Amino acid sequence: MATVQFDKATRIYPGTEKPAVDALEIDIEDGEFLVLVGPSGCGKSTSLRMLAGLEDVNSGAIRIGDRDVTHLPPKDRDIAMVFQNYALYPHMSVADNMGFALKIAGVNKAEIRQKVEEAAKILDLTEYLDRKPKALSGGQRQRVAMGRAIVREPQVFLMDEPLSNLDAKLRVSTRTQIASLQRRLGITTVYVTHDQVEAMTMGDRVAVLKDGLLQQVDSPRNMYDKPANLFVAGLIGSPAMNLVEVPITDGGVKFGNSVVPVNRDALKSAADRGDRTVTVGVRPEHFDVVELGGGGAAASLSKDTEDAPAGLAVSVNVVEELGADGYVYGTAEVSGEQKDLVVRVNGRQVPEKGSTLHVVPRPGETHVFSTSTGERLTD
């Protein structure tokens, strides 16, 4: 097993000036499962291909264990890659596909068979060893691709969106299998996905990329609780965090009819920059519903009336009922603009479409970001 280090690794494609991956710095521990996540074009697959030796590194270095592999060919890096499209040989049986790399390496047939059978047992593929890939389901083919990587006993597993071709239910079960398998084998794994739910449920740590730049690398829990900037805050979490630009006022921020107390150091930091507003982030589950009313409740909300309901009036557009919970997708007027908001409510007390909720962020559960720079201001 081995550590992996990206040391200011940069990739600039010929004919372009802007790096696809810009001075990437990540230290991955021995046996760790690290997930690279971000939108299309953020550089996550390029980073993985640089580690695999499939893309050149224009500057910086990549190390596996104590070896600098920056300019080594893929075959000398002791890595195994699992691709999105499985990349199985259609004319070979499952057993031959799984053992092909060992055959090329000159391993004797008995040892290949032993390793293939051991991997097949782990992956529940024993009864399929004599079949061709076309006779397997998508999930089974993905397990064959995993088996091919396992039998090589590499220092590092590289996985490039391996679940994106599977249907939703199979994707959930397979990601659980991959995560538990990795922990059993203890092989350092770098996994690329655009699905932040996959990233949060599988990774020991998650690295978020945007436009080739690393935004944050942290445990899923820390990233959820303390996103480093507006981009990470908007990406991590499902449904996404509500991000609302609100004016700074004495003692906190003006949120509809209420003044919500937030960290004073954060407000001072914003004021020192000359910002008159901050962007407040609130998770859907961190709103308190003050009042659940009919259509007339919106009319009663006024900044000037003493008896107006507290908080922000949210017009209910859609309600997702999930059993234990419900999610309200609505709109609210914030600083003169219509803003989409998502609020989690009790699954037994969901509001009707067209009604109005009044919501207030829960004290201590808000995230404050600089509107101008996007960086986090709260600890």
Kindly report, residue by residue over 89-145, the tens digit of the pLDDT.
999 999 999 999 899 888 899 999 999 999 998 888 999 999 999 999 888 888 899
Domain-terminating residue out of 234, 259, 284: 234
The pLDDT value given to residue 255 = 80
> Region 330-334: what's the mean pLDDT?
89
The pLDDT value given to residue 327 = 94
Domain-terminating residue out of 234, 255, 275: 234
> Region 270-275: what's the mean pLDDT?
82
Determine the structural domain holding residue 49 and report its residue range. Answer: 4-234
H/E stretch holding 356 reads: strand 356-361
pLDDT higher than threshold 50 for residue 179: yes
Q: Which residue has the tokens 């199985």?
A: 88
Residues 379 and 376: their CA atoms lie apart, in Å, by: 8
The pLDDT value given to residue 305 = 43
> Region 136-157: what's the mean pLDDT?
89
pLDDT higher than threshold 90 for residue 77: yes
pLDDT higher than threshold 70 for residue 13: yes
The pLDDT value given to residue 333 = 86
The pLDDT value given to residue 225 = 94
Contact 298, 334 (CB under 8 A): no
pTM attached to this predicted model: 0.87
Least confident span in 37-51, 74-88, 193-207, 246-260? 246-260
Contact 43, 21 (CB under 8 A): yes
Contact 209, 36 (CB under 8 A): yes
Please give the share of the chain, as a percent, with pLDDT higher than 70. Answer: 94
pLDDT higher than threshold 50 for residue 318: yes
Between β-strands 33-37 and 205-210, what pairing exists: parallel, antiparallel or unpaired? parallel
Q: Please indicate, yes or no, if residue 347 is contained in any of the structural domains.
A: yes
Beta bridge partners of 280: 244, 368
In the chain, the number of structural domains is 2
Q: Please indicate, yes or no, if residue 375 is contained in any of the structural domains.
A: no
Kindly state whether residues 183 and 243 are assigned to the same domain: no
Q: Is the dihedral of CA 170, 171, 176, 182 positive or negative?
A: positive
pLDDT higher than threshold 60 for residue 306: no
Domain-terminating residue out of 234, 255, 272: 234
Categorize the per-residue pLDDT at 378 as very low, low, confident or very high, splitting at 50, 70 and 90.
confident
Kindly state whether residues 40 and 92 are assigned to the same domain: yes
More confident residue, 367 or 334: 367
Q: What is the CATH number of the domain that holds 183?
A: 3.40.50.300
- From the list 315, 240, 242, the residue with the least C-alpha distance to 279 is 242
**Per-residue model confidence as pLDDT tens digits over 200-214:** 999 999 999 999 999
Q: Please list the alpha-helical segments (H only) found in 236-334.
A: 264-272, 297-300
Q: Please indicate, yes or no, if residue 376 is contained in any of the structural domains.
A: no
- From the list 135, 154, 159, the residue with the least C-alpha distance to 65 is 154
Kindly state whether residues 353 and 205 are assigned to the same domain: no
Q: Please indicate, yes or no, if residue 379 is contained in any of the structural domains.
A: no
CA quadruple 62, 67, 72, 78: dihedral, nearest 10:
-100
Indicate the average pLDDT of the chain: 88
Kindly state whether residues 40 and 102 are assigned to the same domain: yes
**Across the beta sheet with 252-255, what order do the strands follow?**
258-260, 252-255, 242-249, 277-282, 367-370
Kindly state whether residues 116 and 198 are assigned to the same domain: yes
Q: Which residue has the tokens 């939108």?
A: 39
**Per-residue model confidence as pLDDT tens digits over 353-362:** 889 989 988 8
Other beta carbons within 10 angstroms of residue 110's beta carbon come to: 8
Contact 224, 200 (CB under 8 A): yes
Kindly state whether residues 107 and 93 are assigned to the same domain: yes
Kindly state whether residues 225 and 251 are assigned to the same domain: no
The pLDDT value given to residue 274 = 80
Q: Please indicate, yes or no, if residue 142 is contained in any of the structural domains.
A: yes
Q: Please indicate, yes or no, if residue 179 is contained in any of the structural domains.
A: yes
pLDDT higher than threshold 90 for residue 176: no
The pLDDT value given to residue 228 = 95
Kindly state whether residues 245 and 230 are assigned to the same domain: no
Kindly state whether residues 191 and 329 are assigned to the same domain: no
The pLDDT value given to residue 212 = 95
pLDDT higher than threshold 80 for residue 178: yes
**Per-residue model confidence as pLDDT tens digits over 212-239:** 999 999 999 999 999 999 999 999 998 9
The pLDDT value given to residue 293 = 47
- Return the structure tokens found at 109: 């047939």
